[in-house]
Chains A and B, each alone.
Chain A
Amino acid sequence: MSNKWLRKTLIILLSVIMMVIAGREFLIWLNEKEPIVEGPGVTRVAKLSDYFADLKGTALDTNIYILEGEEDGGAVMVTAGVHTNELSGVMTNVILIENAHVEKGKVILIPFANNSAFTAGHPGEAYPMRYHIKTDWGSRWFRFGDRYTNPIHQWPDPEVYVHYPSGQSLSGFDIRNLNRTFPGKADGTITEKVGHAIMQVIEKENVDLFIDLHEAEPMYPVINTIVANQKAMDIAVIAEMNLSAFEGIKIGKEISPENLHGLTHREVGDHSRALSLLAETCDPIQDPLRGRTDEALIITGKDEFILKAAKLGLLYVPFDETGSHIDVRTGRHTSTVLEIISAFSELYPDKEIIVSDAPRYAEIIEKGVGYFLLKPRG
């Protein structure tokens, strides 16, 4: 072999080695999922594709954890991971899956609603792909993803996304935003199919109450709040009063705008019998003002630039040196979910839902999120 071909062979070999190393990491990001322990209260684990077969075998199929009580009552669905960089909702779902018992009624939990978005990072944002929660026995890892479905799974974006069925025009990339594609479309894009599948679960499981958990950046006005469809406003009012009076959680409430389509609080309420609400906490990693973007920011929510903005009065939430820790955010969401369920049960006693063994805000802050995460087998 001449020197020229020997050189070319060596260069190609080096490229292949680098491709294998990078490709292996990309494949892990695409396929590896965090272990979730089915707690003693879980009575069934289903898949989204069990309710809408088109999702079977796709990257967007996801687990549904169902906790059923011995007594009949109402049914509540709690979704998280609709936006996969808003993690306190995921933590709340996982804590409920691994700890809660349902005495009356049914609780349906979808912790990773947009499973594809968990496999992608937001371009240009330098997001970590994973984060770790310390526990008494070690640590648990979780995926940290993008706001949008991975373009590997849905491409290309249109110039303008026309929402179905309202016909409202939105930015082209919002066609991959699950919280802009409700109530979904059976023959639409894969993200619209997920919206449709969740609506199918709501219909087939006779869901009465729907809660979607999100987070927002501190400079965004819709934060630390409950957004309610008009049919669920009374529930939001009672939950807000009780959270403030009994747990010291200051939370706002607002009504879902009637002409802003595709969001869960609007479409689930309008296209099903379920009463729909959405809750937001404060998530500094999403704020464009933030500094270093790393796992510590995900967990502690401490950032010197956001702190400066707070001192200048630019934020919509109180923010100080303690940041916005994951324990605080998860505690807020968990108490909000439990209080919304309690308010619903108070207003609709024939559909009462009783959940026990779920920690609330003060307990989560005292013990930390990690205390409530079980050790996976193996």
Chain B
Amino acid sequence: MVTLIYYLFCAFVAILLLWNFVEEENLYNEILYAFVLMPFILRILRIY
């Protein structure tokens, strides 16, 4: 159960980061959001 909540939380943070990436106008912040998103996606896929 805790594991399920953890993965849902990871997915929630990933969606927030993706949302910020879409809304962002500044190039450097866009790159930052895209890079920070990577470990969350890998964790949701249970690869990392």
A residues adjacent to B (C-beta < 8 A): 4, 7-8, 11-12, 14-15, 18-19, 22-23, 26-27, 30, 152, 155-156
B residues 19-38 touching A (CB-CB < 8 Å) = 21-22, 25, 27, 30-31, 34-35, 37-38
* Contact assessment for B34 and A15 in the assembled complex, using a CB-CB cutoff below 8 Å: yes
Chain A hits for B41, CB < 8 A: 19
Q: Tell me, in angstroms, the Cα distance from A21 to B37 when the chains sit together.
A: 15
| Chain B, residue nearest A19 (CB) | B38
* Contact assessment for B22 and A26 in the assembled complex, using a CB-CB cutoff below 8 Å: no
Q: Tell me, in angstroms, the Cα distance from A193 to B30 when the chains sit together.
A: 45
B interface secondary structure, majority: helix
Instruction: Tell me how far the C-beta of A321 lies from the nearest C-beta in chain B, rounded to whole angstroms.
Output: 40
A-B contact pairs, 17 of them (CB 8 A): A4-B25, A7-B27, A8-B22, A11-B31, A15-B35, A15-B38, A18-B38, A19-B38, A22-B48, A23-B42, A23-B47, A26-B42, A26-B48, A27-B47, A152-B48, A155-B6, A156-B6
Chain B hits for A11, CB < 8 A: 21, 30-31, 34
Q: Tell me, in angstroms, the Cα distance from A15 to B14 when the chains sit together.
A: 14
| Chain B, residue nearest A27 (CB) | B47
* Contact assessment for B22 and A30 in the assembled complex, using a CB-CB cutoff below 8 Å: no
* Contact assessment for A23 and B34 in the assembled complex, using a CB-CB cutoff below 8 Å: no
* Contact assessment for B34 and A14 in the assembled complex, using a CB-CB cutoff below 8 Å: yes
Instruction: Tell me how far the C-beta of B34 lies from the nearest C-beta in chain A, rounded to whole angstroms.
Output: 4
Interface residues on chain B, number (Cβ under 8 Å) = 19
* Contact assessment for A15 and B37 in the assembled complex, using a CB-CB cutoff below 8 Å: yes
**Number of interchain pairs (Cβ within 8 Å):** 41
A interface secondary structure, majority: helix
Q: Tell me, in angstroms, the Cα distance from A19 to B46 when the chains sit together.
A: 13
| Chain B, residue nearest A12 (CB) | B34
Instruction: Tell me how far the C-beta of B38 lies from the nearest C-beta in chain A, rounded to whole angstroms.
Output: 5
Instruction: Tell me how far the C-beta of A2 lies from the nearest C-beta in chain B, rounded to whole angstroms.
Output: 12
Instruction: Tell me how far the C-beta of B36 lies from the nearest C-beta in chain A, rounded to whole angstroms.
Output: 10
* Minimum-distance CB pairs A-B, first 10: A15-B34, A11-B34, A23-B47, A26-B47, A26-B48, A19-B38, A11-B30, A23-B42, A156-B2, A11-B31
Q: Tell me, in angstroms, the Cα distance from A19 to B36 when the chains sit together.
A: 11
| Chain B, residue nearest A24 (CB) | B47
* Contact assessment for A8 and B30 in the assembled complex, using a CB-CB cutoff below 8 Å: yes
Instruction: Tell me how far the C-beta of B16 lies from the nearest C-beta in chain A, rounded to whole angstroms.
Output: 16
Instruction: Tell me how far the C-beta of A144 lies from the nearest C-beta in chain B, rounded to whole angstroms.
Output: 18
List 11 extra interface pairs beyond A12-B34, A23-B45, CB under 8 A: A8-B22, A15-B38, A18-B38, A19-B38, A23-B42, A23-B47, A26-B48, A27-B47, A30-B47, A152-B46, A156-B3
Q: Tell me, in angstroms, the Cα distance from A19 to B43 when the chains sit together.
A: 11
* Contact assessment for A22 and B42 in the assembled complex, using a CB-CB cutoff below 8 Å: yes
Instruction: Tell me how far the C-beta of A145 lies from the nearest C-beta in chain B, rounded to whole angstroms.
Output: 16
Chain B hits for A19, CB < 8 A: 38, 41-42
Given that A8-B22, A8-B30, A152-B46 are contacting pairs, would A22 and B38 also be in contact in the complex, using a CB cutoff of 8 Å?
yes
Chain A hits for B37, CB < 8 A: 15
Chain B hits for A4, CB < 8 A: 25
Instruction: Tell me how far the C-beta of A62 lies from the nearest C-beta in chain B, rounded to whole angstroms.
Output: 20
| Chain B, residue nearest A8 (CB) | B30
Which of B2, B35, B48 has most chain A Cβ within 10 Å?
B48
Which of A11, A23, A152 has most chain B Cβ within 10 Å?
A11
